[in-house]
Chain A
């Protein structure tokens, strides 16, 4: 439902672009990136499924990187008033590349944690007579 309303909003944006306001390419990508980031964020905050949350966080990351790429194109555009040049700001592109590396890192960490949480039997080891002494797992009693 939420996704539907979000795409509805996107559709409205498209219509606005087609009918009234003239959107440049950069503005279009800025809006798109914002929409992707917001959709990801909302989904991440509202779902309880861990894998879905991780993927939503990825979507948010992609959205924010899209925003930065659009800003990079904007910086190049304003530096070159003709605006049609293929240039893109190298510093912001470097930001995006680093952002991608960090995305890979947190996705991996999140995947490992989710695998451990969901792969571990909920009724833990405390039934096990060899559970390694009372000191090591005090909260397992709960």
Chain B
């Protein structure tokens, strides 16, 4: 590709490299300058993602060989419909959360400032001057380490989404995983153990993925996602014995990514990691980081492996785990008494939805409607519906869960507790926060007009077309359960008056010395509200989404 790089192709490289550059630069800056740089970078990434989305929507797959080196030596970036959609969602959520973190530095974690601790934990910042000298060690809110880590994580996420080959996908996943672990660790002493547990799981998942990638390479002779998919299709046509290696590779990749995406029963690490992370980090973890693993899973199943009949058992196992995730995650969410663990379990439940499409992939015949007059579904319609339904569910979850975690973290910072019973009536004092929780609950339950509804509708339609009626049962059960646990979380906050004998006494709102007092009640509350609003507004995009996903689709 020696033609002069067009502006859009420049954007394709820049969405990966600019956050990486900003991450490296921010290490050199003071904490106030880091906030400015973070907001500027997020605006830049938002601006750079827009042309990519526009060009892909017009029906063009973008491809860029970095530095003019073609594969196998070079690094190919490629953006098709799936990439562009995930890129756009990441840009929106990332930019909003960045603004929130810049407006409320206290939400970025806490650090130990002391003479007794090793110097590495003491980052120089403006807070240090305010520290009283006689305190040997004290936790200070706000951790400037958030910015380099989050920008690095963003770079990794974008690298995963636009990667054209499997190995760069691995490098991107690893970058996301390691920075996410460090982001969890910003939460202070309680979060360290959770972060370490997350590290073990994330690295184990990456190693399994790496072995799978190497197996696929050794069979197909290429790491390129599209080329290896073609090679595997040829092998399948010849009935080659190497196909067993592909099946093994897909097993390893699926297991590794299921670990990273926290599919039941591999979800144990997610609850402590997501609920003990700082307020600005939990939304990023839940909305974006696990989406990277989901994205790679979809790539591997749809683009690399294609519909191999040998994978049927694996597909059913994963779909069964998904069903179990919806049921178990919901039941566990209902049993929580604290806000953040409840939302974390709701993530576990929502993960299950994304695995329901796998049996549909291998059996896309429209068997149920076959032979009936007037039903002429074209080739790939079931696949397209199932994929766009799943993607809509994942994107809707990203927006809604980011909003929900932001509001919950904000409430927790306000009242220094997230026990639901103690937060009764918080809606009176903070209507905007509770309103955004309600909006995101609408999205997560999948009530009409939200993106979650479009996703469930598309998935259910294609499930019926393919004769997989069990998916309907799972979807309905999941919807009812999610309505139950989200009502349990939101309803107590909405109590307006003392309609029963219990007095409405909110815990004393925290009064921080200095600036953080104002930031808790100020404009920062707009961030979750904006995301909640987007959850509902994007519900109109269901059809558009299906169209965008057709760009570069494997069928």
Contact = CB atoms under 8 A, between A and B. Distances in A.
Given A72-B218, A110-B199, A130-B138, 15 more contacts: A57-B204, A61-B203, A71-B217, A91-B223, A95-B210, A102-B171, A102-B174, A106-B178, A109-B178, A110-B196, A113-B195, A116-B192, A131-B138, A136-B110, A137-B110
A132 B138 contact: yes
A2 interface: no
Contact of B416 (A91, A102, A138): A138
Interface stretch (B183-191, B281-289, B396-404, B497-505): B183-191
Contacts of A64: 207-208, 210-211
Contacts of A110: 196, 199-200
5 closest A-B pairs (Cβ-Cβ)? A132-B138, A130-B135, A135-B510, A138-B416, A71-B218
Contact of A113 (B139, B185, B276): B185
Contacts, number: 122
B521 interface: no
A135 B512 CA distance: 8
B193 interface: yes
B136 interface: yes
Contacts of A140: 189-190
B134 interface: yes
Interface of B: 72, 110, 121, 132, 134-141, 167, 171, 174, 178, 181-182, 185, 188-190, 192-193, 195-196, 199-200, 203-204, 206-208, 210-211, 213-215, 217-218, 221, 223, 276, 412-413, 416-417, 510, 512-513
B39 to A, nearest CB: 25
Nearest to A60: B207
Contacts of A95: 167, 210, 213-214, 217
Scoring A68, A102, A120 by chain B CB atoms within 10 A of each residue's CB, the highest score goes to: A102
Interface of A is mostly: helix
A109 B182 contact: yes
B338 to A, nearest CB: 10
Contact of B200 (A44, A72, A116): A44
Contact of A68 (B72, B110, B138, B210): B210
Interface of B is mostly: helix
Scoring B171, B188, B192 by chain A CB atoms within 10 A of each residue's CB, the highest score goes to: B192
Contacts of A72: 218
A110 B510 CA distance: 34
Nearest to A41: B204
A128 interface: yes
Interface string A46-78: 000010011001001100100110011011000
Interface string A111-124: 00110110010001
Nearest to B185: A113
Contacts of B189: 120, 124, 140
Contacts of A128: 135-138
20 contacts: A64-B211, A67-B214, A72-B218, A89-B218, A91-B223, A99-B210, A105-B178, A106-B203, A113-B185, A114-B196, A117-B192, A117-B193, A125-B139, A128-B137, A130-B135, A130-B138, A132-B135, A134-B510, A138-B412, A139-B276
A92 interface: yes
